[in-house]
Amino acid sequence: MFVKIENAPQARPQTGLDQADVVYEAIAEGGITRFAAIFQSADPGDLGPVRSVRPQDPDIAAPLRAIAGYSGGVAPIVNDLSSVAQNLSADTSAAASAYHRTSDRSAPHNLYATASKLWALAATPYDSPPLPLFEYGALPAGATPATPADVPLSGVADVRWTWDGKAWRRSQDGAPFTVTGSGRIGPTNVILQYVQIVSAGYEDVAGTPVPSAVVIGTGKAQLLRDGKVLTGTWSKPSRFDVTRFTTTDGQPLTLRPGQTWVELVPNTASVTVTP
């Protein structure tokens, strides 16, 4: 299941995000970021706030052959995503009952989905397990110590990942990144995938240009795992291909089994990884 989750300040703390198997983060208009969260191995219950799709989403979702939960989006992206995933957005009559609004936040930051209700609507071929997104195994040779990694995704989205001996803990804009309840984001792996950011060719309702992360092609990648960092390369030849991450000598950039976050980092960003 592929679900779009908001990350504007009004959306925090999010619900269910800590239960995602994989989370992609990319900049959106105005420099804020938005998440594409993938759920398969655990039922997060309610999750959100759910928001609209973005230009790179069809390319991320295509290898999954997944159901897609979201709310809104410009017609070209919605149509594009619908061609590679089952459209279970809040805008469809079939899936509307899987969503609800809460009274403790103002719209549009109060729309939530119930995972079990979305899963129940999955139709063939979108009800089958997806292809593996990563390869797992021992940490490849050549990794160096890494405690914090500062990842300035934009001028208004400053992310830090800090290894605490068990997981990578996320902070944003100097504050711990939590979820509702007592949870805090702490994936096993963090992948920094350096990508080109281009204009999607249109603006949002406020007149702000909408950026698009280019995830087809190749570029630099860094893997954070086990308190270490390893530099390599990412490659995705076409939309339906799974992104392959390799070391500098072409071997698989293997992850430790567990939750994984993929940061779609602008290739102009100045990332700092400190031993």
**Domain parsing of the chain, residue ranges:** 2-119, 144-273
| pLDDT at position 205 | 67
| pLDDT at position 181 | 84
pLDDT less than 70: residues of the chain: 205
Under CATH, domain 2-119 is a member of which superfamily?
YerB-like (3.50.90.10)
CATH number for 144-273 (one of 3.50.90.10, 3.40.50.300, 3.30.70.141, 3.40.50.720): it is 3.50.90.10
Question: 89-116, pLDDT tens digit by residue?
Answer: 999 999 999 999 999 999 999 999 999 9
CB atoms within 10 A of CB 237: 11
| pLDDT at position 213 | 98
Question: 258-275, pLDDT tens digit by residue?
Answer: 999 999 999 999 999 999
Task: Give the pTM.
Answer: 0.97
Question: 49-84, pLDDT tens digit by residue?
Answer: 999 999 999 999 999 999 999 999 999 999 999 999
